[in-house]
Amino acid sequence: MAQSGGGDPELQQRLQQWFRETLEIDEERRIARLDDESIIASKLPPGAAALVYEVVDKLPEILDADAVRKGYEARASEVPPEMPRVQVWFQAMTLLLRDRALYREIPSTERDLVQPGIDSVAGVLDAVLWTQPTVGDADYAPNDAERAAFLDATERIDGGRDIFTRVFGIFEGRHVLNVCPGAPFARTMLDQAWTACTGAEPPVGGVAS
């Protein structure tokens, strides 16, 4: 039976020690939910999942294709040519998020709720663009395998599977997971990240073409 987290301070303490000593993660993570088989460990405060959508509504630029493209191009013009394009996108989105949040006087506590979505998309795209294209690779175009990997990822999302969930490992017989609360808007972000990093429209359909 699933339970909300926070009811066992000793379990919370042991879990944090496991994160720190086994995974070398010092960032505090609370137990958001647990059952006999799994622990959902979150670095976000209670109620954050609902608040994420409110914050995104206040920051339309982070899901605006033109704003994302311009942000990527501006950042790409500033970095060394050997920097991977996915890293450039990640930096550009982080800067765009911070700039727009500052402009609209959104507190950092709310802004930081959106950052995990950017982190998650960067992780997925980095795996999809496995050739690691760089800013200086002017002749780069996604190959068939990368296009197929993108299609596989997006079809799994559209089919109801949350690929943004991270599995840390097993602790005291339970799988420890981290769920991205912004997975729905991260799907749009993934399409825009693909276009920014490849210069091509996202692949669609059952086969890569």
Q: Is residue 107 in a domain?
A: yes
Predicted model pTM: 0.75
Q: Is residue 75 in a domain?
A: yes
Structure tokens at 84: 């991977």
pLDDT of residue 206: 52
Strands 166-171 and 38-42: unpaired
Q: Is residue 208 in a domain?
A: no
Q: Is residue 207 in a domain?
A: no
**Does 6 score more than 80 pLDDT?**
no
Q: Is residue 206 in a domain?
A: no
pLDDT of residue 50: 75
Give 65-85 pLDDT, tens digit per residue.
Answer: 999 999 999 999 999 999 999
Strands, E, within the chain: which ranges? 3-4, 30-34, 38-42, 166-171, 174-178
Domain hosting 31: range is 3-198
Q: Which helix (H) or strand (E) holds 158?
A: helix 144-158
Distance of CA 106 to the CA centre of its chain: 20
Give 136-166 pLDDT, tens digit per residue.
Answer: 999 999 999 999 999 988 887 766 555 666 7
Q: Is residue 192 in a domain?
A: yes
What is the spatial distance between Cα 191 and Cα 176, in angstroms, rounded to a whole number?
Answer: 28
What is the spatial distance between Cα 151 and Cα 188, in angstroms, rounded to a whole number?
Answer: 14
**Does 209 score more than 50 pLDDT?**
no
Q: Is residue 46 in a domain?
A: yes
Q: Is residue 122 in a domain?
A: yes
Torsion angle of C-alpha atoms 56, 61, 66, 69, degrees rounded to 10:
-80
Query: Looking at the 3D structure of the chain, how many domains does it have?
Result: 1
pLDDT of residue 207: 42
Strands, E, within 6-101: which ranges? 30-34, 38-42
What is the spatial distance between Cα 23 and Cα 15, in angstroms, rounded to a whole number?
Answer: 11
Q: Which residues contact 134 (CB under 8 A, 6 or more apart)?
A: 81, 82, 83, 84, 85, 140
Residues 133/147, Cβ–Cβ less than 8 Å = no
